[in-house]
């Protein structure tokens, strides 16, 4: 098979990833796991698991059984949970793979009770998000009797805000904990960890902050950027003063300009909303994005980047919190939208 390099690459800083996990673990005060769903938030779940497991992380969470299967075989001592539970078509995978379902409904509980052969499971309790999970009254009505529950979970809906819902959900989860036996209890995501030790319980489940996202101000300065997307220059061209660049002629050269066209666009998660605020750097020189983003091409003003040539690599401006503020995209979208055309490599 011919090995063809992509004109896009994603540098992934393993030291930053591990540093972020260790900071989150220290804030948790308890065991700290890792959400690696959506292929490790776009970075590559297998690589994320390998580096975090080597650092001491033992509890990992994916969304689906297909994501779980892609991580096999698991390293010794590693625990994997599947957050979306078990549908009818999931039972073969759930019974054969070394992963636990997170049961989310009375139907899933009944399905697991009937076919789970007494294996341990996790259970999600809905304490106010109204997304997945059993309502407290369902859980306390005897539906869980006899199950071997490894981890009882809930999920915070507004932890990234100073919302009264946080305390309400905490109180609801504490009440359920008192009545439902499980080996461990888990409530806090990345933002929940920042709310303080009361939210830690036995196990925390950070996601966004592992990958460089800032869930709350308490994490700013401690969480490091992990993902660094780069694009190769496809062509350099001179644009005379007064001429325009790109679809809709939205950018006009105020002087004779040197424009670098790069292999990247909204097919790679770099969307039209970056127009007017996006940019890149090359050897510490700023290259503003000019014109609209198109499907797989963008243009940058390289007039002041003397020496830049075809085939050189541009580093995108991709600080997650800053770019989210400028673009209107969430930090989650900025990470998980990075497409498959990026060559991912760890540094």
Output the domain CATH number for residue 20: 3.20.20.10
State the pLDDT at residue 1.
Answer: 62
Partner residues linked to 81 by β-bridges: 61, 100
Q: Does residue 307 share a domain with residue 243?
A: yes
Q: Which domain holds residue 293?
A: 227-318
Number of domains present in the structure of the chain: 2
pLDDT at site 115? 86
- Nearest Cα to 28, choosing from 210, 183, 156, 192? 192
Same domain, 302 and 281: yes
| Same structural domain, 209 and 252 | no
Decide if 76 is inside a domain. Answer: yes
Whole-number Å distance between alpha carbons of 121 and 146:
11
DSSP string for residues in 272-291: GGGTTT-EEEETTEEEEEES
Residue finishing a domain among 180, 202, 219? 219
- Are 144 and 263 part of one and the same domain? no
Low pLDDT (below 70) residues in the chain: 1
Same domain (yes/no): 166, 238: no
Residue 28 and residue 160 share a domain: yes
Q: Is 247 a catalytic residue?
A: yes
Position 297 scores a pLDDT of: 97
Catalytic member of 119, 185, 247, 345: 247
Same domain? 231 vs 203: no
38 and 148 belong to one structural domain = yes
Determine, yes or no, domain membership for 3: no
Active site residue 119: no
Residue 74: per-residue pLDDT: 96
Tokens of 324: 């989210």
Select from 219, 243, 258 the last residue of a domain: 219
From 37, 41, 199, 318, the catalytic residue: 37
Cis bond upstream, residue 73 (ω within 30): yes
């Amino acid at each position: 098979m011919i090995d063809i390099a992509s004109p896009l690459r994603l540098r992934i800083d393993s030291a930053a990833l591990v540093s972020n996990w260790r900071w989150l673990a220290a804030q948790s005060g308890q065991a700290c796991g890792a959400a690696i769903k959506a292929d490790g938030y776009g970075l590559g779940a297998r690589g994320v698991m390998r580096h975090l497991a080597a650092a001491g992380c033992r509890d990992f969470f994916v969304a689906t059984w297909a994501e779980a299967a892609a991580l096999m075989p698991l390293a010794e001592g590693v625990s994997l949970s599947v957050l979306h539970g078990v549908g009818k078509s999931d039972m073969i995978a759930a019974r054969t793979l070394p992963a636990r379902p997170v049961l989310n409904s009375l139907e899933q509980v009944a399905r697991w009770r009937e076919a789970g052969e007494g294996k341990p499971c996790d259970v999600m309790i809905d304490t106010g998000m109204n997304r997945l999970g059993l309502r407290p009254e369902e859980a306390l009505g005897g539906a869980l009797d006899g199950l071997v529950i490894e981890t009882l979970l809930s999920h915070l809906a507004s932890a990234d805000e100073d919302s009264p819902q946080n305390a309400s959900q905490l109180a609801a989860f504490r009440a359920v904990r008192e009545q439902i036996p499980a080996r461990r209890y888990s409530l806090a995501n990345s933002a929940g960890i920042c709310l303080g030790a009361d939210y830690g319980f036995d196990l925390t489940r950070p996601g966004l902050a592992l990958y460089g996202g800032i869930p709350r101000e308490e994490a700013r300065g401690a969480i490091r950027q992990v993902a660094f997307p780069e694009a190769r220059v496809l062509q350099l061209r001179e644009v005379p003063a007064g001429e325009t660049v790109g679809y809709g002629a939205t950018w006009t050269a105020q002087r004779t300009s040197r424009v670098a066209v790069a292999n990247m666009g909204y097919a790679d998660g770099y969307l039209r909303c970056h127009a007017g605020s996006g940019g890149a750097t090359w050897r510490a020189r700023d290259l503003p994005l000019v014109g609209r983003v198109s499907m797989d091409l963008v243009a940058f003003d390289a007039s002041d980047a003397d020496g830049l040539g075809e085939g050189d690599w541009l580093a995108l401006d991709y600080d997650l919190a800053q770019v989210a503020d400028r673009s209107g995209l969430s930090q989650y979208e900025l990470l998980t939208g990075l497409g498959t055309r990026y060559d991912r490599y760890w540094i």
